[in-house]
Amino acid sequence: MWNIGDKGDRIAMIEGERKLTYTELDGLCAQIAGQLGERSLIFCLCTNTVASVAGYLAFTEHGHVPLLLDAKISRDLLNQLVEAYHPAWIWTPADMVEKLPEGDVALELEGYRLQSVNAGAPFAMNEALCVLISTSGSTGSPKLVRQTYENIRSNTQAIIEYLGIDAKERAITSLPMNYVYGLSVVNTHIYAGATLVLTSLNPYAKKFWDLVDREGVTSFAGVPFTYETIDKLRILKRELPSLKTMTQAGGKLSPELHQKLAAWAMENGKRFIVMYGASEATARMGYLPPERSLEKQGSMGIPIPGGRFELIGADGEVIDEPDQVGELVYYGKNVTLGYALTGEDLNKPDENHGRLVTGDMARRDADGFYYIVGRKKRFLKILGKRINLDDVERLLKKRFDTGDIACGGKDDELWIYVVDPALEDEVVEYVFTEMDINRKLQKSGVIPAIPRNTSQKVLYSQLPPL
């Protein structure tokens, strides 16, 4: 799938002072895969390190199916997923084994440990299944997206084509690899024989940008919050001589910041590329060509190579006229098989058949460029990761044993409504501890009652902004 060994002595990854060639990476992958027998489900607790990337590549190259999880996941949430899916193995940082159920250690390599899991009889898996991705950030929902080999291959090739990625590129890991956007950076650069500069440094830190300069990084990926913060910190006042491309996905930028970044890129001989995607489409569905970034400010662009969009009206008919709002539907080989909620679902057939109803409301202008105008479903994005508000409510109601909690918000701002004043601070702390959502990105508020209709369904439109 990745043809790692064919790329020889090119530099595959840089981590600190270490430069790992593709030949050396191929050897690491062989060591990891050599410990495994028949096709297995493997939980990967991800970090932006050589071991984490090598594990993912080894598993997918040799027919195993990894579920990519944040290494910071809480023990309780990890145990819930183990009970639901019965993995055979866990690939984890060695210093995080206290989170794990008991099992035998098959391999210790590069600071990671491959440990068996006695989770029950394994579930059958669809032969096309390649990777499992969580749909809802850090909420611990058992709902997973089922990505196939063809999904990953087609989307990777399309991204390489429209971004012009070749073996000379050097991308830095500014996003976690268990996040579909971060994973697409790994996939495209490994597939193209390019170089990944691995780091856990925060893009808001000076040392991160020192590393960009020192290693000659050519591309940087960020979500709206990333760009808002580096703008406030005046990072773009640096020269950044090696940087050629800045990509953005994971939500919509403000029109002002979009214009500022696009203008900066044009003035400095760089490319600023807005993209649109979802886990259910493997990664990308649309992109805004950089030469149109100022002219089409606010647009998420056009379909990726091999993809197609439609807008569906309230009557279910396709909208052909420009500037009419409808629900955005995408067609392409990168549309995934569907969801899994339990281990039995891993063997489900293709439920989408190349068609994805995105849940986003959009319009198309006369030139064929698309603009997202709202959402039909109850989710928002925190630092680019999709958070299902119903999942957050479920966890909070279970933890605090009360139905008087509701959630709302906007991108990069989770609102939690409570009736009991004693819970106002506790809910924020719980969401931070269990879901790793920064306290600064949460707001809690006390209201007299959660508004409901006669069927006792929450009237979210009547919740006041916080």
- CATH code 3.40.50.12780 region(s) in the chain: 150-375
Angle between helices 180-191 and 149-163 (to 10 degrees): 80
CB proximity list for 404: less than 8 A, separation 6 or greater: 418, 419, 420, 449, 450
Report how far Cα 313 is from the mean position of its chain's Cα atoms.
Answer: 29
**379-462: CATH architecture:** 2-Layer Sandwich (3.30)
> pTM score, two decimals?
0.87
The CATH T-level fold of domain 4-122 is: Rossmann fold (3.40.50)
Residue 325 CA to residue 319 CA, distance in Å, equals: 8
- Asked if 186 contacts 211 with a C-beta cutoff of 8 angstroms, the reply is no
Region(s) of the chain under CATH 3.40.50.980: 4-122
Residue 314 phi/psi, 5-degree rounding, is: -65, -25
Q: Give me the tens of pLDDT residue by residue for the chain, a chain 466 residues long.
A: 999 999 999 999 999 999 999 999 999 999 999 999 999 999 999 999 999 999 999 999 999 999 999 998 888 889 999 999 999 999 999 988 777 777 899 999 999 999 999 888 999 999 999 999 987 655 556 799 999 999 999 999 999 999 999 999 999 999 999 999 999 999 999 999 999 999 999 999 999 999 999 999 999 999 988 998 899 899 989 999 999 999 999 888 888 899 999 999 999 999 999 999 999 999 999 999 999 999 999 999 999 999 999 999 988 999 999 999 999 999 999 999 999 999 999 999 999 999 999 989 899 999 999 999 877 778 888 988 888 888 898 889 889 988 789 999 988 999 999 999 999 999 999 999 988 899 999 999 999 999 886 556 688 888 999 9
Hey, is 35 helix, strand or coil? coil
Angle made by CA atoms 196, 199, 201, in degrees to the nearest 5: 145
Indicate the class that CATH gives domain 150-375: alpha beta
Do 130 and 151 touch, CB atoms closer than 8 A?
yes
